[in-house]
Amino acid sequence: MTLVPGARSARVLRREAHAGLALGVIGAALILGFFHNRFWWPADEGVFAHVAARVLAGEVLHRDIQDIHPGYVTLVNALALRLFGMELVSLRYPLVALGLVQAGVVAMLFSGRGAAIAALAAIAFTALSFVQFLNPTAHWYALGLVVMLIGVLAWLPAGARGRLETIGLLLALVFLFRQLTGVLVAIGALTWLLCEVRSGIGRPRLARGLVGLMALGLTGYLATKAHSTTLIIFAPWPLAILVWAWLQVRADDRTVLRMSARLAIGGLLGAAPLVLYHVINGSLGYWFNDVFVMALALTDLDFFRQASYGVYLLSGLANVIRFDNAVTVLNGIFWISAILLSGATGWLTLRSLLRDGRRGLGFHPLPFLAVFYALVSVHFQIPIYLFFSLALTLAGLLWLTAGMETWRGAAPVLVALLLAGVGLYFQAGQPLTRGALGIIEGQRVAAVQSVAPRRAGLLIDRASHVAYAETVALIRRESAADDTIFVLPMNPELYFLADRANPFRFFSTALGIRDDDTLTRVLAQIAEAPPRLVLFRGDDKYNTDRSLAIMDQVRRRYVGLGTVGGFEVYRYEDG
């Protein structure tokens, strides 16, 4: 039997695609399986667990419990606690499943580049995302949804039935997991869709108006993040792509209106369950205030404005120049590469668009959306936020370069191997208590053990284990199961770990007490129905004048029990 050469090639391609998918998903499973229960960042972990546990107990989200997230992350977390048990580790299982799906989609996107590149892309994506900040934050769900969105844009042809509605649905879900991420992704996706239309009847007035409006909004956002590092590395590329798009769009007004209507239908489908929940529970106004007013107040805190990637870039460079040892040099190269990667991907995407237009590699949804998604990391310039976009940025770079026969194809592959290897060994699962210097130098904290308090189920560093074991034991010893405790300014993990109720709607005094009237009501409630215990961390960055005013009253009326695990502890004595 004689094989047709074309048929044989198609068979080989399918075989390589299957091999890349299998290797990528298996590699991702091994990474996620090893790291999923390691590391914690207690206050953040506590927010998600505390809010989800209260929803699971029958309280209404936003009406009874304040939360700055739009809602879906809390509902997923509540479901995870119900299905897998009341432990912090339960909140990670949905993200492990999402990580496997994510790896599979990435491998399939690269299937035409060969099994090795597809597997590398999927494994590197996994190594540089969830395991770098093992936390049930909404950012990881948003990233997974964006990867699915890229798959829909890449695989479903223009005009396919349900395509625009599916895109609208995914965009709504991204927004309803994480607001800012949803806006940035919507700008990138809408720009890509407008440029995808090759011709139109009449002038593209609406299309150009939309692109101009998005460029104006993005410029305003970036102006509030005006660190030099941001302006040089992250900002130019999405703005330049929007200028390119303004010149390229051909979609006429009727096409834009029809496209917008179909996207809106999908968006309404995505938002409907959440809106219905709040309408039924009479919490729509509370939801709007928490998600669109209080969430903005978070960025008013001083530590947001003080953070800058420039510190990590310069410190990494200093590590390389000093050349003290291989570990510090490798980690120095890691941080330099991780921070500059966004600029490299942005430049190569823009160059491809300028040179080849919509026929080039740059006009693929993977690098195109990666350039816009990188701006997620600008919001708060610390390593955690860099990791929220790093994996997608690297995938975009690999898409633009992998398979080239020159050094330009080999160099990004080596960068991917370096970032994945160094990231897994020196950064993944390592505690943030190492401090900035320890993170930059790649210091490893090897001693981990099961955290003593029940309701955790995690492996953490020894110092945290001791501190929280002592603190939770004291809370359970000095209060009854039906007592309330008050933790300020923001350590809601103690409510969850000790299984004690929070008497207030808020979990953070910085977010929950924004004016003097609210402070007066809180002080009155403490006087009328005193929590059995008050725990206070004096060196917390979330302290404000109002949290200190609360502690003035507590110290006058409560008995001090000393300091345990970094918390000042006070007990109310009846009579």
* pLDDT tens per residue across span 541-562: 899 999 999 999 999 999 999 9
Residue 5 — pLDDT band, cuts 50, 70, 90?
A: very low
* Mean of pLDDT values over 506-531: 94
CA–CA distance, 444 with 431 (Å, rounded to integer): 9
Residue with tokens 């009253």: 553
Query: Which pLDDT belongs to residue 303?
Result: 63
Is pLDDT above 90 for 455? no
User: Hey, which bits of 464-541 come out as E strands?
Assistant: 485-488, 533-536
Average pLDDT, the chain: 91
Q: What angle do CA 110, 363, 109 make, to 5 degrees?
A: 15
4: Cβ–Cβ under 8 A, 6 or more apart, which residues? none
Q: How far is C-alpha 415 from the geometric centre of its chain's CA atoms? A: 23
Q: Could you tell me if 249 and 358 are in contact, meaning their C-beta atoms sit under 8 angstroms apart?
A: no
Q: What is the mean pLDDT of residues 177-189?
A: 96
- 399 or 15, higher pLDDT: 399
Q: What is the pTM of this model?
A: 0.94
Mean pLDDT value of segment 172-190: 96
Separation CA 22–CA 18 (nearest Å) = 6
List, for residues 270-301, the tens digit of each pLDDT value. 999 999 999 999 999 999 988 887 766 666 66
Alpha carbon distance 234, 243 (integer Å) = 16
Task: Assess whether pLDDT exceeds 80 at residue 170.
Answer: yes
Predicted local distance difference test score (pLDDT) of residue 295: 66
Least confident among 195-204, 294-303, 325-334, 441-450: 294-303
- Out of 91-105, 193-207, 354-368, which region has the weakest mean confidence (pLDDT)? 193-207
Distance CA 12, CA 262 (A): 38
Condensed to tens digits (0 to 9), the pLDDT of residues 314-354 reads 899 999 998 889 999 999 999 999 999 999 999 999 999 99
Helix (H) or strand (E) holding 358: none
Query: What residue spans define the domains of the chain?
Result: 5-438, 462-571
pLDDT at 3: 39
Beta-bridge partner residues of 311: none
Query: Phi and psi for 104 in degrees, rounded to 5?
Result: -65, -45
